[in-house]
Structures are given as structure tokens and as C-alpha cells.
């Protein structure tokens, strides 16, 4: 594991931004029908999950309010159980659950410099 988590934080922040941008162009109904956007946003969530795995435990422990295990485990579903990934779950994750993770990135990016 690298001693400087800046790259992982940048990956998380960038992929939150991409996922939100791509979803902003859609209603849920159009998102569900747009396979390319669904796959792209799912990939963003997989990258976020993998980047979280590269963060040092001490950083994660400073933010016990975040569901670190669920974030890491979601990546396994995106990669290995992709046929179980539902459009509604991806949509809800992007629309309602990335805010706390984004605030974490903002807070820690200032600390890791």
C-alpha cells in the first residue's frame, strides 16, 4: 500500500464527479434504458470501491460514520456478480449516498498534502 493516499483520494473524487455528471443528464427511467451510461456509472462505483481499498486504515478509522466494509464489498459485486447489479441500486447510490464520501475526500485531501 502506498504511503501517500493522494492518488486514491483523487480517484474517488474524480469518479464521484463523473458518476454524478452522467446521472444528472437522466431521469431514472432514461438512466435505466441507457445501457452505456449504466455501465459507465457502475464502473465509476467499482473504481471508487477499489480506491477505498488503497487507503490506509488510520484514515478510515477517522471516519467511522462511513460504511467502509459495504463500500469495499460493493466492488466485488460490480466485478464478480455484475448480473446482480440493479439499475435502481446504482441510481440510488449516486443520487443519495455519495455525499458523505465526497465530504470525506475533501476533508482528507487537505490532510494528506
Contact 44, 18 (CB under 8 A): yes
Number of domains in the chain: 1
19, part of any domain: yes
Please provide the DSSP assignment of 32-70 as one string: HH-HHHHHHHHHHHHHHHHHHHTS-HHHHHT-TTS-HHH
Q: What pLDDT score was predicted for residue 38?
A: 96
Q: What pLDDT score was predicted for residue 111?
A: 64
| Structural domain boundaries, residue 74 | 6-111
User: What does pTM read for this prediction?
Assistant: 0.90
77, part of any domain: yes
Distances (CA, A) of 104 to 4, 23, 51, 101: 16, 21, 13, 5
Tens digit of each residue's pLDDT, the chain (113 residues): 446 899 999 999 999 999 999 999 999 999 999 999 999 999 999 999 999 999 999 999 999 999 999 999 998 888 877 777 889 999 999 999 999 999 999 999 986 54
User: What is the rounded distance in angstroms from the CA atom of residue 46 to the CA atom of residue 42?
Assistant: 6
Contact 44, 12 (CB under 8 A): no
Q: What pLDDT score was predicted for residue 4?
A: 80
59, part of any domain: yes
User: What is the rounded distance in angstroms from the CA atom of residue 94 to the CA atom of residue 89?
Assistant: 9
1, part of any domain: no
62, part of any domain: yes
User: What is the rounded distance in angstroms from the CA atom of residue 72 to the CA atom of residue 98?
Assistant: 14
Which H or E element spans position 23? helix 6-24
64, part of any domain: yes
33, part of any domain: yes
104, part of any domain: yes
Amino acid at each position: 500500500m502506498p504511503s501517500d493516499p493522494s492518488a486514491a483520494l483523487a480517484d474517488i473524487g474524480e469518479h464521484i464527479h463523473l458518476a454524478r455528471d452522467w446521472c444528472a443528464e437522466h431521469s431514472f427511467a432514461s438512466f435505466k434504458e441507457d445501457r452505456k451510461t449504466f455501465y459507465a456509472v457502475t464502473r465509476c462505483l467499482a473504481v471508487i470501491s477499489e480506491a477505498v481499498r488503497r487507503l490506509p486504515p488510520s484514515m478510515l478509522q477517522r471516519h467511522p460514520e462511513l460504511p467502509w466494509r459495504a463500500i469495499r464489498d460493493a466492488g466485488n459485486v460490480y466485478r464478480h456478480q455484475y448480473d446482480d447489479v440493479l439499475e435502481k441500486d446504482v441510481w440510488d447510490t449516486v443520487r443519495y449516498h455519495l455525499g458523505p464520501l465526497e465530504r470525506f475526500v475533501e476533508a482528507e485531501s487537505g490532510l494528506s498534502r
